[in-house]
Structure 1
Amino acid sequence: MEHVQRHLRMALDAARMTIWDSELHDGRVVDSTVKWFGAGATLLGLPSGDLKQPFSVFLQHVCQEDRDQLLDTMQTAVDNRAGYEVEYRVIWPDKSRHWLAAKAHVFCNGDDRAQPLGTLGVVWDITERKNSEQTTARQRELAAVTLRSIGEGVITTNAHGETDYLNYIAEQLTGWTHDEARGLHIASTLKLVDDAGEAIPEHVALQCLRLRQAIGMSSQNQLVTRDGRHVAVEESAAPIWSDGGELLGAVVVFRDVSHERKLTKQLSWNASHDTLTGLINRREFEVQIAAALHSAKEDGHVHALLYMDLDQFKIVNDTCGHSAGDLLLQLLSKMLQTQMRDSDILARLGGDELGVLLPHCPPDQALLIADVLRQSVKNFRFVWDDHTFELGVSIGLVEVNHHSKSMTELLMAADQACYLAKERGRNRVHLYQESDQRLARRQGEMQWVSRLNEAFEHQYFRLYAQPIVRLGQQDEEEHDEVLIRIQPAKGDLILPGAFIPAAERYDMMTAIDRWVIRAVCRHVQSLGAQPDANGRLPAQYSVNLSGTSLGDEGLHDYIVQQFAEHGISPAQICFEITETAVIANLVKAQDFMAGLKALGCRFSLDDFGSGLSSFAYLRALPVDFLKIDGVFIRGIATNAINRALVKAINEVGHVMGLSTVAEYVEDEPTLAVVRELGLDYAQGYAVGTLRPLSASAGA
């Protein structure tokens, strides 16, 4: 018998178990006595050795939250004369907690109906297993919480492509719940089609399972939801492996990219179209001309190119403002399209310049079409408030054939033909001839050089000021942009759009910029530098500088000389430089700006957003103001893309500590949006009109 007991104890020790024994009194567990043998007491954190203790004392070692369950389990087994299995926690004297598992049977004196005498079984420590289970449970819960909370849809499949799991986002996007989708094929729960709505060659999850490798992000597909809606998505898949290297399934991650894809398409459209009229822009028109030229050279086709310049358009702009001019361009564009063949291509090339490509159209037919367009513009009447305007159009026509040299020369020829149409009386069509090129160049040069020199000699230049108004708070300092015009002895005021391109072409811009700087300094000197009677500080003036002037080595010294001669504080002058001019002269611009910035001058970057890498170089320039390109401001009240772009530019500008200016704010709806977006300044007819600057003449 002793031999058997020794072997039993060895077996229990090997299994890390000990005998669990109790003596019952009157069938009540709570009044029983618990016996521990050998190392059993160590399960309670007590020294090894035989131990006998009342059940109530033993119960003090049990965690309070487990006591009732342990007692009920044992008492129920005693009452039923049955066995029991139970797990509970004990607290050792060092306050550490340990898990114990017990398995025992009730024994009676005689048959099973007799009074129970006690329980006998085994007890062992399961702390390590419980900790492992809890760690695994925490990891599973953490994974589940993570999958529920991430912003992308997640679906897992088994090795056969059948759905195992959907997270919350996947449920919302697909329309399937986890329970409904479980067991269905992934092609049903995540139904994908291409951008045209056609079935895709192979589902991303199935491709992943077939190739046994991760499949990168695809951004050309659409998800067909359970209720039939199409949602643009990006999706990718990766295999799920077991520890032994067995392929268990795949995990597919996808997200809704409807907004991004719509924005991409809109930006792509904007890159090739004029946002005001909806016509293709100059860049895309040049692509079409290049294609026509290729077909002319390769296949001998004959096409025609029209260059159209609206007559009297500037009168509408000057009389009624840019909003009227914009509406006029929109109405004219729609009207002209009704007068053309389906194959003809109409484009907006500039402010009031349009281009037409007439495919497969010989010159005689092109002349007829051009005259129809000319007459339709002539018959068009534009009404704004109480004003009615009659317009005209000068059209240059050039043939595109196998002798044509290049797209650039075709456009130049059409432009020159248009110029000659204007010179010969306007509102007419001129067919380009080889002899026109030399004539147009010579006449153009003579005319503009002569007129600009005349303006210098007779002081025909005039300066105007347009307010730059601070939004959101009262500004103690006036801020005006200075704009130049030519007022000849006879005739209408000439806007810069007419003479600035010629001045740039014939190297006269530096002289004009110096004239403006000197005139502004004389004006500031005449006003004095003290606050006025209302306490308003001296005005600040924004002076435009051309790209040519940025490369003028002597301009910095000239400006400093004018400040000294007229007693001008540099802080009153802000120089405006266009973004494109800065890009073309970046190194010189940095040096020029740094020198004047040190004196106290401020700088405004004009037409911001029009360049290809606007933000890339912005931190390298000592700029105070960002003037957002008017092409983004116009129509901002109704164009969500422009609104988003302006919002982004404004936020980045503010992060960099710059003030932002919205130009071409022509009406109240536009002004309201500009205010809402938090721009600092506005400029345009909605906040202030042009007024003459008194020091313009005689400078």
Structure 2
Amino acid sequence: MDDHELRSLMAIEAAGMAIWDSSVVNGQIEECTIQWSARGAAMVGLPAQETLQPFTQFLALVHEDDRDELLDTMQMAVDARAEYHLGYRVRLADGTVRWLHADAKVLCGDGRHPDRTLGLIRDVTGMVEHERLVNERERMAEVTLDCIGDGVITTDCHGAIRFMNRAAEQLTGWSRQRAAGRDVNEVMPLVDEVDDTPLEHVAYKCLLRRETVGISSHAAMLTRDGRRIAVEDTAAPIRVNSGGIVGAVVVFRDVTHQRALSSQLSWHASHDVLTGLFNRREFELHISHALHVSKQDNHTHALLYIDLDRFKLVNDTAGHAAGDALLQILAKQLQERMRESDVLARLGGDELGVLLGYCRMDQARRIAEEIRQLVKDFRFVWDVHSFDIGASIGMAEISADSTSVSDLMIAADEACYLAKDQGRNRVHVYSPNDAAITRRHSEMMWVATLNDAMQQDLFTLYSMPIAPLRGNHMKHEEVLLRLTDEGGDVIRPDRFIPAAERYHMMPMLDRWVIRAVCRHIAYSVGSQSQPVREEQHGRNTETEVPISGISSVLAQEVGPTLYSVNLSGASMSDDALYQFIVSEFAVNRVDPAQICFEITETAAIRNLLKAQDLISQLKLIGCRLSLDDFGSGLSSFGYLKTLPVDFLKVDGSFVRDIASNPVHRAMVESIQKVAQVIGIQTIAEFVEDASTLEVISEIGIDFAQGYAVGRERALDSADT
């Protein structure tokens, strides 16, 4: 063997290959003899030495599924005096199967008749196994991606599509076969959902920035059949081990429903549902902006506070449905008369607010008179009834000298009060002197009345049942505060609570209620019974109570009563309140588990840190906590993780018409689902009729409160 042959042999062996040499007899491959090198012999399971082997013996070593193909391929190459490339399996003596690959050329000794094949053979078992594993993993990945709900698209480094899962096919309307190789922007075009402006594709951004990026919160995708769906999510680069980027993966989902619901929730956060006007919260934001502009640029604006005269007569005579219809019609008429810069809002039951932007007081007075005249001329007909109403309007100037939004609202409110006090159906412009007299006359009278009531023990506790709907037989009552005047008439808290809040008397009233409830428990029958320790079972193990069975459930309530006691926002800021509660529990031997403290969502958020501290302290000793008016702020869900309450009381404005209002039903369903996930029980208030009760029961609400399940009564009679 000369040097050239030696070098060639060494190169072949270094590459893991062996010589594949066989003779051909009479042009038939089956009659040939194979000459194995030592390495080649070892590949087919023979001793590692140079060996001659008849082809038939070699064929017996070939895997039975590959024999015919190997024989046909080699014979055709001999017949054609050509070369062949072939992969096949051999089965070794110990049963092991190995993959071999042969590359050979047919040689003709006399230039015409084939007499030999010569080539190379190599063991490719590792390569085949690796390819099999890769294919298997790719298939598993494809199956996995086809099972998820999000659309997944992968591209190469130029944005051409390489793969789409089944969800991406359904969302885009493109099959993966038809989409393969196309530009991602053709298959998944993105536009701004507001004005349909084309957006730079998230995949391009990802490839350009070489980092994960998110789709615009206003992105929409145009499908192949022309539909437009709202989408959101991310694109991330696909990197190889060396760090280079070979493409991008886009993960997206259809959020059309969620975005529509979010838009509805946003609208409800700033608008009155009945009239479609701005609500008080949004109106006060506009006033705040106007005040800011006045202080910056010395502009003047006007604030109108409108109270509809004789509106209560409509409700009392024709019912609340008539009152609602009146408000809707009147609101539409007033809105049509507003200037583009004006803001009209509903502030309460029959109270409206108007912000006249960039308006001098003389001009504002004329506009106010026009509004008053419009309301006066408005004639409302309902069934057989016909009503004339009026408007008492208070007006206050917003200028650089104005102090705050609350002071402006108070000023306009007090001017409105004077308009009503002076005969109704008139406009009164705020004057500091008028306001001082009115405020002292009205609110100081209540302050004196409340102090006298405290000294003379004229307060009374009422209660209203909170009925279980989910098979929980716990007896639950909300405690209500009432004031009895000198004539024996019961005064509801909405008459005196505003004065108590303004003059910081709420902590005093809250303490009176807490002490009175503890004393009631101490002297009630069964106060020495076992503490209330009901486990909050998962909803899967509870039995739903049919609507017709609510009364029987109330009759079956067992164990000590759980009393819900309202706490004001001012009391949550009272550092001594917790110690007072603990002291009253100890003196009256009250089990803390019989008390559920109820705080409004608004008060909790306004005093978040104080609320967290107080809730934690009360929970630690065994009290329950309830979050009232839940959903009214519409920032509610974000705070639940920081407020470990036991109950959510859904805001009554969503419950009252839930049987006929699909938006309100969707909102209550959302609240219920979140509460269920977190493990908080839900209470629906303002459940006034059987249809409302049926709907909230279907949704999965745990408790109901309202005339459909029980009316308020004196607390002493609540236990009989």
In the alignment, is the contact (CA less than 8 A) between 2:265 and 2:634 conserved in 1? no
In the alignment, is the contact (CA less than 8 A) between 1:394 and 1:418 conserved in 2? yes
Task: Work out whether 1:604 is the aligned partner of 2:603.
Answer: no
Q: What is the one-letter code of the residue matched to 1:513?
A: D
In the alignment, is the contact (CA less than 8 A) between 2:106 and 2:116 conserved in 1? yes
Partner of 2:542: none
Instruction: Determine helix, strand or coil for the equivalent of 2:87.
Output: strand
Cα distance in 2 for partners of 1:610, 1:47 equals 86
User: How far did residue 355 of structure 1 move?
Assistant: 0.7
Partner of 1:484: 481
In the alignment, is the contact (CA less than 8 A) between 2:190 and 2:199 conserved in 1? no
User: How far did residue 686 of structure 1 move?
Assistant: 3.5
In the alignment, is the contact (CA less than 8 A) between 1:513 and 1:549 conserved in 2? yes
In the alignment, is the contact (CA less than 8 A) between 1:543 and 1:574 conserved in 2? yes
User: How far did residue 273 of structure 1 move?
Assistant: 2.4
More displaced 10-residue stretch of structure 1: 620-629 or 6-15: 6-15
Instruction: Determine helix, strand or coil for the equivalent of 2:276.
Output: coil
In the alignment, is the contact (CA less than 8 A) between 1:204 and 1:235 conserved in 2? no
Instruction: Determine helix, strand or coil for the equivalent of 2:282.
Output: helix
Cα distance in 1 for partners of 2:272, 2:68 equals 80
User: How far did residue 204 of structure 1 move?
Assistant: 5.6
Task: Work out whether 1:691 is the aligned partner of 2:713.
Answer: yes
Q: What is the one-letter code of the residue matched to 2:97?
A: R
Q: How does 1:136-535 map to 2 (within 5 A)?
A: 137-138=135-136, 141=139, 151-154=150-153, 156=155, 159=158, 168-178=166-176, 180-181=178-179, 188-197=186-195, 199-200=197-198, 213-214=210-211, 216-219=213-216, 220-234=218-232, 255-293=253-291, 302-310=300-308, 329-338=327-336, 340-341=338-339, 343-359=341-357, 361-363=359-361, 366-371=364-369, 373-374=371-372, 393-401=391-399, 404=402, 406-456=404-454, 460-473=458-471, 475-489=472-486, 494-521=491-518, 523-524=520-521, 527-529=524-526
Partner of 2:570: 548
User: How far did residue 400 of structure 1 move?
Assistant: 3.8
In the alignment, is the contact (CA less than 8 A) between 2:154 and 2:249 conserved in 1? yes
- CA deviations on 1:478-499 (whole Å, 9 max, x unpaired) are 3221222334355975432221
In the alignment, is the contact (CA less than 8 A) between 1:460 and 1:488 conserved in 2? yes
Task: Work out whether 1:21 is the aligned partner of 2:43.
Answer: no
User: How far did residue 127 of structure 1 move?
Assistant: 3.1
In the alignment, is the contact (CA less than 8 A) between 1:339 and 1:372 conserved in 2? no
Task: Work out whether 1:40 is the aligned partner of 2:40.
Answer: yes
User: How far did residue 212 of structure 1 move?
Assistant: 6.7
Cα distance in 1 for partners of 2:467, 2:331 equals 33
Partner of 2:537: none
Instruction: Determine helix, strand or coil for the equivalent of 2:66.
Output: helix
In the alignment, is the contact (CA less than 8 A) between 2:191 and 2:199 conserved in 1? no
User: How far did residue 130 of structure 1 move?
Assistant: 3.3
User: How far did residue 685 of structure 1 move?
Assistant: 3.2
Cα distance in 1 for partners of 2:458, 2:265 equals 43
Cα distance in 1 for partners of 2:50, 2:652 equals 94
User: How far did residue 540 of structure 1 move?
Assistant: 3.0
Count of equivalent residues: 690
* Aligned-pair identity (%): 52
- CA deviations on 1:191-249 (whole Å, 9 max, x unpaired) are 3433443544866666677x574583341443333343333344766777899999977
Cα distance in 2 for partners of 1:82, 1:527 equals 108
Superposition RMSD on alpha carbons, in Å? Answer: 4.8
Partner of 1:90: 90
Instruction: Could you tell me which runs of 5 or more consecutive residues in structure 1 were left unpaired when the two chains were aligned.
Output: none
Task: Work out whether 1:675 is the aligned partner of 2:675.
Answer: no
Q: What is the one-letter code of the residue matched to 1:438?
A: A
Instruction: Could you tell me which runs of 5 or more consecutive residues in structure 2 were left unpaired when the two chains were aligned.
Output: 530-553
Cα distance in 2 for partners of 1:404, 1:566 equals 50
Q: What is the one-letter code of the residue matched to 1:577?
A: I
Indicate how the Cα distance of structure 1 residues 176 and 362 shifts in structure 2: closer, same or farther if over 3 A, else same.
same
Cα distance in 2 for partners of 1:232, 1:627 equals 33
- CA deviations on 1:503-532 (whole Å, 9 max, x unpaired) are 122233233334434544565566511899
Instruction: Determine helix, strand or coil for the equivalent of 2:709.
Output: coil
In the alignment, is the contact (CA less than 8 A) between 1:306 and 1:395 conserved in 2? yes
In the alignment, is the contact (CA less than 8 A) between 2:18 and 2:37 conserved in 1? no
Cα distance in 1 for partners of 2:56, 2:460 equals 107
Of residues 598, 601, 623, the one that matches 1:576 is 598
In the alignment, is the contact (CA less than 8 A) between 1:158 and 1:164 conserved in 2? no
Cα distance in 1 for partners of 2:382, 2:302 equals 35
User: How far did residue 306 of structure 1 move?
Assistant: 0.9
Indicate how the Cα distance of structure 1 residues 528 and 244 shifts in structure 2: closer, same or farther if over 3 A, else same.
closer
Instruction: Determine helix, strand or coil for the equivalent of 1:529.
Output: coil
Indicate how the Cα distance of structure 1 residues 300 and 598 shifts in structure 2: closer, same or farther if over 3 A, else same.
closer
Cα distance in 2 for partners of 1:381, 1:668 equals 34
Task: Work out whether 1:67 is the aligned partner of 2:89.
Answer: no
More displaced 10-residue stretch of structure 1: 382-391 or 98-107: 382-391
User: How far did residue 468 of structure 1 move?
Assistant: 0.8
Instruction: Determine helix, strand or coil for the equivalent of 2:393.
Output: strand
Indicate how the Cα distance of structure 1 residues 589 and 93 shifts in structure 2: closer, same or farther if over 3 A, else same.
same
Indicate how the Cα distance of structure 1 residues 357 and 492 shifts in structure 2: closer, same or farther if over 3 A, else same.
farther
More displaced 10-residue stretch of structure 1: 195-204 or 568-577: 195-204
In the alignment, is the contact (CA less than 8 A) between 1:157 and 1:165 conserved in 2? no
Cα distance in 1 for partners of 2:632, 2:386 equals 34
Cα distance in 2 for partners of 1:190, 1:119 equals 55
Indicate how the Cα distance of structure 1 residues 121 and 432 shifts in structure 2: closer, same or farther if over 3 A, else same.
closer
Partner of 2:682: 660
Cα distance in 1 for partners of 2:18, 2:174 equals 50
Cα distance in 2 for partners of 1:545, 1:564 equals 20
More displaced 10-residue stretch of structure 1: 578-587 or 379-388: 379-388
Cα distance in 2 for partners of 1:673, 1:8 equals 87
Q: What is the one-letter code of the residue matched to 2:436?
A: R
In the alignment, is the contact (CA less than 8 A) between 2:474 and 2:558 conserved in 1? yes
Relative to the length of structure 1, the TM-score reads 0.79
Q: What is the one-letter code of the residue matched to 2:70?
A: L
Instruction: Determine helix, strand or coil for the equivalent of 1:65.
Output: coil
In the alignment, is the contact (CA less than 8 A) between 2:368 and 2:427 conserved in 1? yes
